[in-house]
Amino acid sequence: MDWTIWVEWLIKSLFVVFALLTGFAYLTLYERRALAKIQVRIGPNRAGWQGLLQPVADAVKLIFKEELTPAKADKLVFFWAPIITMVPSIVIAAVIPFGPTTTLFGRTIVFSVANINVGVLFLMAVASIAVYGIVLAGWSSNNKYAMLGGLRSSAQMISYELSLGLGFVTAILLGNSMNLHDIVDAQRNVWFAVVQPVGALIFMIVTLAEVNRAPFDMPEAEQELTAGYHSEYSGMKFALFFMAEYQKMIAISMIAATLFFGGYREFWFLKDTFLSVDAIWNIGPWQFQAWFLGPIYMLLKVVVLLFFMIWIRATWPRIRYDRLMSFGWKVLLPLSLAVVFISAVGVLVAQQFDNNWYLAIIPIFSSVAGLVAVGFVDQALRRKSYASH
């Protein structure tokens, strides 16, 4: 095998790892400043200009904090659990495309670490691994609160993974491929979030539950479980759990942008302009493709999706655990199945009649299904409210 391929893989891998680690650090600052603005506070602004060195100060604090290991903990599992949780949050980004395939310095460059035909299956497989680290952390701590947090997490993540998998199926049906580059190219004219808005909304809700973000952060409910599965962790071991959560937020936002919001492609109203990633720029005697706009568009979409996650945390209260599980099994799962069925029928109609009728059929019928689901939720909450009185 050509040694330059290994060099290319190494460079792209280092870029992804550096981007995620840096993104994790400054996502914490982004979240704290955004929460402060929403809640009319100031937020961190002392360490460096506008608080830009706050993540560095937090890292130094965690590095020098004392690490404690419970005397009766399973020390080997206790040590490996944070690593098992953190590694998938980096590995999952390996197949996400950050830009169009282009030619640089005489060789074809694919803007992803690995361009595999079953990229969606890779995402689903790696996303399922993270639950092991959380469960093992709760079990190995030999602490009943940590154990309850681990059990809650496993039940929650397994329950919501069903709807998450169906969200992937929706994108596969609309894109007619399991390759993420093909799915992005299929959104050249219209985003899948426009074709299947309910599917995109379900995907975003389910990902919140998968990364244990508010209002689905039940595995670490401080009032009941004294921080849950990581109660006994401190120092850098705790920092790894913290790092994994925020890196998963970034990875999930990149996946959502890729599957439903056009990925690295430009906004649809820029498709035929010089700001398209396929545009050819003439600068003096040179011509080159505007491939570098792809990572910029991806970054913009990820920042917006992350803001919505932060906004939800700032405004929505944590829901009760029994309602969380009922919502996953009785609302999201049936609705996800309906969305997949509607998408499949719409694509079949488009193929049979050689027309893009599904662009009108799918949003209408999926919106009706979504409204029916909202009606059932409203009626269920009203019945429980009347029963409590």
Q: Read off the pLDDT of residues 81-92 as tens digits, 9 standing for 90 and up.
A: 888 888 888 899
pLDDT surpasses 60 at 271: yes
* The predicted structure's pLDDT at residue 360: 66
Residues in the chain: 389
Percent of the chain with pLDDT over 90: 12
pLDDT surpasses 80 at 366: no
- Rounded to two decimals, the pTM is 0.90
Nearest-10 Cα torsion for 93, 99, 100, 102: -100
Residue closest to 141 by CA, chosen among 80, 202, 210: 80
pLDDT surpasses 80 at 303: yes
Percent of the chain with pLDDT over 70: 89
pLDDT surpasses 80 at 280: no
Q: How far is CA 296 from CA 13, 153, 299, 328, in A?
A: 19, 34, 5, 34
Residue closest to 181 by CA, chosen among 102, 280, 247: 102
Domain range list for the chain: 3-388
State the pLDDT confidence band at 72, using cuts at 50, 70 and 90: confident
Kindly give, in sequence order, each residue whose CB lies less than 8 Å from that of residue 361, ignoring residues fewer than 6 positions away.
342, 345, 346, 349
- Is residue 186 within 8 A of residue 170, CB to CB? The reply is no
* The predicted structure's pLDDT at residue 224: 60
* The predicted structure's pLDDT at residue 284: 66
pLDDT surpasses 60 at 386: no
Q: How far is CA 219 from CA 124, 140, 179, in A?
A: 21, 16, 33
Residue closest to 216 by CA, chosen among 316, 148, 304: 316
pLDDT surpasses 70 at 150: yes
189 vs 106, which has greater pLDDT? 189
Q: Residue 108: what are its φ and ψ, rounded to 5°? A: -80, 125
pLDDT surpasses 70 at 58: yes
For 188, counting Cβ atoms within 10 Å of its Cβ (0-12 exposed, 13-18 middle, 19+ buried), the class is middle
* The predicted structure's pLDDT at residue 57: 87
Q: What is the mean pLDDT of residues 47-54?
A: 83
Residue 363: is the preceding peptide bond cis (ω within 30°)?
no
pLDDT surpasses 60 at 229: yes
Mean pLDDT for all residues in the chain: 82
* The predicted structure's pLDDT at residue 287: 66
Q: Read off the pLDDT of residues 82-121 as tens digits, 9 standing for 90 and up.
A: 888 888 888 998 899 988 887 776 777 888 888 888 888 8
Rounded Cα distance, 279 and 290, in Å: 6
pLDDT surpasses 60 at 225: no
> Which of the residue ranges 166-180, 276-290, 328-342, 357-371 would you say has the lowest mean pLDDT?
357-371
* The predicted structure's pLDDT at residue 357: 58
Paired tokens of 348: 């079949």
Paired tokens of 116: 């595999």
226 Ramachandran zone, left/alpha/beta (phi>0; psi -120 to 50): left
Paired tokens of 180: 């993420």
Kindly give, in sequence order, each residue whose CB lies less than 8 Å from that of residue 134, ignoring residues fewer than 6 positions away.
81, 85, 149, 150, 153, 154, 157, 219, 229
Rounded Cα distance, 346 and 91, in Å: 34
Paired tokens of 280: 């050819």
State the pLDDT confidence band at 305, using cuts at 50, 70 and 90: very high
State the pLDDT confidence band at 383, using cuts at 50, 70 and 90: low
pLDDT surpasses 60 at 349: yes
Place of tokens 């909202």: 374
Q: What is the mean pLDDT of residues 3-7?
A: 78
State the pLDDT confidence band at 130, using cuts at 50, 70 and 90: confident
